[in-house]
Amino acid sequence: MKRLEYYTTLDNKCPYIEWRDSLSYPFQVRIAKRLGRIQEGNFGDCKKLKKQSII
């Protein structure tokens, strides 16, 4: 299981939590469910980036 860490400022504020709390409840639930899936290792529909050669 993955562990999520939230950024906090020097004065102990968490911009993510402040933003999340400003959303309506249905959106908060959707985000919480999505983060739960990420913690379980399910990153959804994503593709690996291709390695590009540096010239």
How many CA atoms lie less than 13 Å away from 52 in the CB half-sphere? 3
pTM of the model: 0.68
pLDDT at 17: 95
pLDDT (tens, 9 = 90+) of the chain, 55 residues, equals 888 899 999 999 999 999 999 999 999 999 999 999 999 988 887 777 777 777 6
The domain locations on the chain are 1-47
Q: Which residues contact 17 (CB under 8 A, 6 or more apart)?
A: 6
